[in-house]
Structure 1
Amino acid sequence: MTNPSYQDRGLLIVVSGPSGVGKGTVCGMLRKRNPNLIYSVSATTRSPRQGEQHGVNYFFHTKDEFFSMMEQGELIEWAEYVGNYYGTPRQFVEDKLNAGEDVILEIEVQGAKQVKELFPEGIFIFLLPPSMDELKRRIMGRGTETVSAIQRRLHVASSECKELSMYDYAVINDRLEHACEKIESILVAEHCHTSRVIIED
């Protein structure tokens, strides 16, 4: 055995979890701590929240524009969530992975199922809240949701948590830094997985 090496292709990391669990905050800190980690910006039909920018937080589209992208195969996944559509542009992800860069997707459970069919080698991580009471507190703390919308999100969250077995890892977001450290450890381990080692005779 001589010259062992690792695959050049990057890792596709999928982070899912119920609304309000802190996916955006965790992924944001991961990117700050790991500048080489590529964040795939999702397309959505929902309206921008205060401070969100097109092309930075999301690509904001009309429903007609979004449906056109779906029909032309420009999305690797898409999902309808509480009346809005979300999706991941395909070409951007493929280009980065082929260039050897790790790409992180922050997407809903419906979308993660579609990605797993196309990229079974991906790393699927489910972010959990410390408790449902804490999740409710976080959603209410946004100050952007009506009472009925909060109830819908909590109902969806309960259903999403039942899909945990589809994922490779579960990370409880009790403290932001701890959650990030756990995900970083997962990525180090995955880069060293035997399936990624190439051995030349």
Structure 2
Amino acid sequence: MSTTAHVPSVPVRGTGDTGVPVPADTTAAASPGAGEAGPARTAVAWPNLASPGLSPFHIEVPAGWTAVEPPGALIAFLGPEAGGFRPNVVVYGERLPREVTLVETAEQVLWETGAETATGPLADEDFPLHAIREAVVSVDGRELRQLVVATEAGDLSPGGLRSVFALLATHLASRTPADEPVIVDILASFTCNRAPVDKDHALAVNDESSDQSTN
């Protein structure tokens, strides 16, 4: 999952749709004001129906872990130091078209960390509807084991994009017996908070940005 921002061309990749009517912000006044000359404009708040933004998510970490906001990612969690290294979990998120699969997303994260090969799936019973990959990389003479879990929210927008998350966990390979159970518990706790799309692929979310909901 690339950390480089990019602007999609029009029509939006994924559906060929050229867009939806600009969603008006009913809490803001339109411009120009009454009696003023000029073209009519619509005040737009974000997120909105056309660009709903990333789904909210929930994750649980053990006591003693700390959180930071890393460049190019949403959030990262650092565990207590052991063996001169802090095990960590980094959460990435991006709005991607349906054509980009979860497997591709998981493997791309590993390629960007320098992994040459990836294996999986692993522990499918703990991660339904996810793609799971792992790799071992060498950094500064240390062998690090990396686990990636990719998942998505059912929040397909009219433009054909949905929220895709990739969780990258890293720990010392030599500490796999001790660190793996903790890492797996953290990864398994991750959930997205958006409601799934309906059968017609219409956007349906349960948050303050929309009155629509799916039962």
Superposition TM-score, scaled by structure 2 size? 0.24
Q: Which of the pair has more CA radius of gyration?
A: 2
User: Which of the pair is proportionally richer in helix?
Assistant: 1
* Structure having greater relative contact order (Cα 8 Å, sep ≥ 6): 1
